């Protein structure tokens, strides 16, 4: 099964203040997010981290590599603005890319760290999954923020994402950039 998440920011003390994360320190935050991943994921699952796996210095690579390897299943990284080149070389990634298109249960998905106004398949019911903006914007009907700050610090499934998408407004610019497109999400 595929699970999706974004912006865990492992090792980033200031993110707790920036995003009002309810943890006493970075160790507690990291442990909580990791425990949530471990509680849900199984060895045959895929976790798609859509950017900003960590905010750390390169001397923390061994710790982050251990953390990455302790996540069950296959872990994929869709690079974000804080994912430094040395992070992408940690052993434990099943794949690393800047953007990727997937299809799950007939649903076309575009995964990119940054929210996009339009994307491949947008005119035909595709969904874009993103992070980057933390709690500042949940997304729109066809572009959903899967960041930990909006999902109780846990990974989410496609059915959960689709249910949330139905509660979000259509982007007010949609008709301007994709005239005549139907939102089938």
Q: What is the 3-state secondary structure (H, E, C) of the chain?
A: CEEEEECCCECCCHHHHHCCCCCCCHHHHHHHHHHHHHHHCCCCCEEEECCCCECCCHHHHHHHHHHHHCCCCEEEEECCCCCCHHHHCCCCEEEEECEEEEEECCEEEEEECCCCCCCCCCCECCEEEECCCHHHCCEECCEEECEHHHCCCCCECHHHHHHHHHHCCCCCCHHHHCCCCECCC
41 versus 121: the higher-pLDDT residue is 41
- In the predicted model, what is the mean pLDDT of residues 154-182? 89
Q: What is the pLDDT of residue 180?
A: 73
Mean pLDDT score across all residues of the chain: 95
Each residue's pLDDT tens digit, 74-100? 999 999 999 999 999 999 999 999 999
Each residue's pLDDT tens digit, 136-153? 999 999 999 999 999 999
Q: What is the pLDDT of residue 122?
A: 87
Each residue's pLDDT tens digit, 13-30? 999 999 999 999 999 999
Q: What is the pLDDT of residue 184?
A: 55
| Share of the chain residues as helix, strand and coil, in percent rounded to the nearest 5 | 30, 25, 45
Q: Is 115 left (phi over 0), alpha (psi -120 to 50) or beta?
A: beta
Query: Which DSSP category does 132 fall into?
Result: S
Query: Which DSSP category does 171 fall into?
Result: P
For residue 2 the two structure tokens come to 């595929």
Band of pLDDT at residue 179, cut at 50, 70 and 90: confident
> Which CATH superfamily hosts domain 2-171?
Metallo-dependent phosphatases (3.60.21.10)
- In the predicted model, what is the mean pLDDT of residues 31-49? 98
Q: Is the pLDDT of residue 181 over 90?
A: no
Q: What is the pLDDT of residue 72?
A: 98
């Amino acid at each position: 099964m595929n699970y999706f998440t974004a912006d865990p920011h492992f090792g980033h003390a200031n993110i707790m203040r920036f995003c009002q994360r309810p943890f006493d320190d970075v160790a507690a935050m990291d442990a909580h997010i990791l425990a949530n991943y471990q509680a849900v994921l199984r060895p045959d699952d895929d976790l798609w981290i859509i950017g900003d796996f960590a905010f750390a210095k390169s001397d923390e690579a061994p710790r982050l590599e251990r953390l990455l390897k302790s996540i069950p299943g296959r872990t994929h990284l869709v690079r974000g603005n804080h994912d430094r080149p040395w992070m992408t070389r940690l052993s434990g990634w099943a794949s690393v890319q800047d953007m990727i298109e997937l299809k799950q249960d007939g649903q076309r998905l575009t995964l990119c760290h940054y929210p996009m106004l339009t994307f491949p398949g947008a005119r035909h019911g595709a969904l874009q999954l993103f992070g980057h903006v933390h709690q500042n914007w949940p997304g729109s009907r066809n572009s959903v923020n899967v960041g930990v700050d909006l999902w109780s610090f846990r990974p989410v499934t496609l059915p959960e994402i689709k249910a949330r998408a139905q509660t979000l407004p259509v982007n007010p610019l949609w008709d301007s950039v994709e005239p005549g497109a139907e939102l089938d999400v």
